[in-house]
Structure 1
Amino acid sequence: MKLGWAIVAGIVLGAGLAWWTARDTPAEAARAQAAHAQAGADARAEAAEPPLYRWRDAAGRLQITERPPKGRPYERLQRQPRDGIEVHGDRD
């Protein structure tokens, strides 16, 4: 009977040790939560400012639309330029 308790105690201690080594530390949990929050903020920002699409039509004219063209290559653009980029509307 003593051997049975030793086996049960070993299993319980092993399970506790496995849980302890596999758990997230507070710093890892905070990093994961911050990454999740940033991903949510990025998704909300993209939904608030949908992208534009730049592509060329059959005649070769440059088109910029809010929906991507079907069956044509296109480039996805952000509505707001990155910091440090100058935007001039008089250039092609």
Structure 2
Amino acid sequence: MASNNSKSKVFDSEEASTMVKELRKTFDCGKTRGYEWRSSQLKALIKLSEKHEKEIVQALYSDLSKSEIEAYVQEVLFLSLSTL
């Protein structure tokens, strides 16, 4: 957890607008990533969710009052199964 003394950067509307413009420009050029890159990203996401399973479940309880089993099945397990 971050301490109260640390300053967090605020993502304001100007930064959001700039990011959207950059992303649209990239999308409009038509260049996409290959299958291998996409597959590696999904595998990394699965590893990340498995490594931080407890934190994910705790955050879902804290933010949305999801029970441990509900959070695991709907979020962590679903991610693993959706990539099979």
Q: What's the TM-score, normalizing by structure 1?
A: 0.27
Give the structure with higher Rg (CA). Answer: 1
Higher helix content, 1 or 2 = 2
Q: Which has the higher relative contact order, 1 or 2, with Cα contacts under 8 A spaced 6 or more apart?
A: 2
Higher strand share: 1
